[in-house]
């Protein structure tokens, strides 16, 4: 409430300054070091001195004469040495403190977004390694946005999209296996697009400690995918929790395939004639909707491009939005 009152006071003084013939001069408040000088102070009169060619005390007095202290819950407005000092009513401050203590985290809640729903998806780093500072920036920004929207009265769900499908997870499994081989004196053959971080070695050591050389004698692929994703996702969640960032939903890309949502999305796009076949591939008519070219959905070998699960994900959330 104090910031609101100060904001209104700032607007009023800037209107007065404009009436004095000065445009685009910002009013700033500061807290005086000497408490006897009031709760807040502004030096706007000094800024106007060169333009108006008047004593700052006279300018300040003129501004104060056009302010109604009752409008801003002020006990007094004083001019001293060119500064304008503002003291809020002690009764207002006391009541405000009691109100905050009473309402606690509900203090300041608004109804601006009442009846509206947002799903905010953020961070969503691949579970193929540790988080870096860029992910931390996204986490801080996204979490702040969620909190602000909730405070403003919107219904909000925060969501982390787990990229646990696709080529990056294949490479994770193969990267772990190469490090696992290395622990038994075999040649480690990490390709350029494999993962080279120390966390991959940690996972390989964990597997070796648990099952020995078992995976040198049998297929590793599916097990290493699951072990790698579970291990790295647990660390990722812990790091975010330590950063005081939590999510309402953790959405798995793999679930789009398991629940048939990818196939349903292709059926939907085909049914509504958003696609066409060419050169043995299924294409999306994205150029008709502002894209610079059409995009492949299903490649010649029958595999999906990354666009398909992304479209399925947005289609599901569009349906969920309609329910809200």
Q: Which of 219, 254, 289 is the last residue of a domain?
A: 254
Tell me if 159 is assigned to some domain.
yes
Q: What are the structure tokens assigned to 104, written together?
A: 């606690």
Question: Which long-range contacts (C-beta less than 8 Å, at least 24 apart) are formed by 133-138?
Answer: 136/243
- Residue 64 tokens read as 């104060």
Residue 100 lies in a domain: no
Same domain flag for 21 and 120: no
Q: Are residues 136 and 184 in the same domain?
A: yes
Which tokens sit at 229?
């994703």
CATH of residue 209's domain is: 3.40.50.620
* One domain for residues 263 and 299: yes
pLDDT digits (tens, 9 = 90+) for 167-191: 899 999 999 999 999 999 999 999 9
Contacting residues for 229 by C-beta, under 8 A, at least 6 apart: 127, 162, 164, 169, 172
Tens of pLDDT, residues 22-57 = 988 999 999 999 988 999 999 999 999 989 999 999
135 plus 267 within the same structural domain: no
Tell whether 263 and 236 lie within a shared domain.
Answer: no
Residues 264 and 231 in one domain: no
Total of domains in the chain: 3
Query: What one-character DSSP code corresponds to residue 106?
Result: G
Co-location of 80 and 192 in the same domain: no
State mean pLDDT over 231-246. Answer: 98
Domain membership of residue 265 as a residue range: 259-324
Q: Looking at the domain assignment, is residue 104 inside a domain?
A: no
Residue 101 lies in a domain: no
Nearest Cα to Cα of residue 223 among 209, 235, 236, 211 = 211
Question: What percentage of residues in the chain have a pLDDT greater than 70?
Answer: 99
Residue 102 lies in a domain: no
pLDDT class for 3, splitting at 50, 70, 90?
confident
What's the pLDDT band for 320 if we cut at 50, 70, 90? Answer: confident
CATH code, 43: 3.30.1360.70
Give the model's pLDDT for residue 319.
77
Distance of alpha carbon 297 from alpha carbon 56, whole angstroms:
70
Domain boundary among 254, 286, 314: 254
**pTM of the predicted structure, to 2 decimals:** 0.77
Phi, psi of 311, rounded to the nearest 5 degrees: -65, -40
Dihedral of the CA atoms 209, 213, 219, 222 (nearest 10)? 0
Which residues contact residue 108 at a Cβ distance below 8 angstroms, ignoring those fewer than 6 apart?
151
Query: What angle separates helix 2-19 from helix 56-64, to the nearest 10 degrees?
Result: 120
Structure tokens at 36: 């006897």
| pLDDT for position 324 | 65
Both 146 and 233 in one domain: the answer is yes
């Amino acid at each position: 409430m104090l910031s609101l009152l100060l904001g209104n006071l700032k607007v009023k003084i800037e209107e007065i300054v404009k009436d004095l013939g000065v445009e685009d001069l910002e009013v700033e408040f500061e807290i005086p070091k000497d408490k006897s000088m009031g709760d807040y102070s502004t030096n706007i009169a000094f800024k106007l001195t060169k333009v108006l060619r008047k004593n700052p005390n006279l300018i300040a007095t003129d501004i104060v004469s056009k302010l109604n202290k009752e409008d801003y819950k002020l006990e007094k407005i004083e001019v001293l040495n060119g500064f304008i000092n503002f003291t809020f009513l002690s009764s207002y401050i006391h009541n405000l403190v009691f109100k905050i203590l009473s309402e606690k985290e509900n203090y300041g809640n608004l109804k601006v977004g009442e009846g509206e729903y947002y799903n905010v998806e953020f961070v969503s780093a691949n579970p193929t390694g540790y988080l870096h500072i860029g992910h931390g920036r996204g986490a801080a920004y996204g979490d702040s946005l969620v909190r602000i929207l909730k405070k403003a009265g919107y219904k909000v769900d925060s969501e982390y999209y787990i990229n646990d499908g696709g080529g990056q997870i294949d490479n994770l499994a193969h990267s772990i296996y190469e490090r696992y081989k290395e622990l038994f004196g075999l040649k480690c053959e990490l390709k350029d697009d494999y993962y080279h971080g120390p966390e991959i070695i940690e996972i390989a050591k964990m597997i070796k400690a648990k099952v020995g050389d078992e995976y040198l004698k049998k297929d590793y692929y599916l097990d290493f995918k699951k072990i790698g994703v579970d291990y790295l996702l647990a660390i990722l969640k812990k790091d975010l929790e330590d950063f005081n960032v939590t999510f309402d939903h953790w959405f798995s890309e793999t679930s789009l395939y398991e629940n048939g949502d990818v196939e349903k999305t292709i059926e939907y796009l085909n049914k509504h004639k958003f696609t066409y076949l060419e050169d043995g591939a299924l294409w999306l008519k994205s150029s008709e909707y502002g894209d610079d070219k059409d995009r492949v959905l299903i490649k010649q070998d029958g595999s999906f491009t990354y666009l398909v699960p992304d479209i399925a994900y947005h289609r599901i959330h569009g349906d969920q939005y309609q329910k809200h």
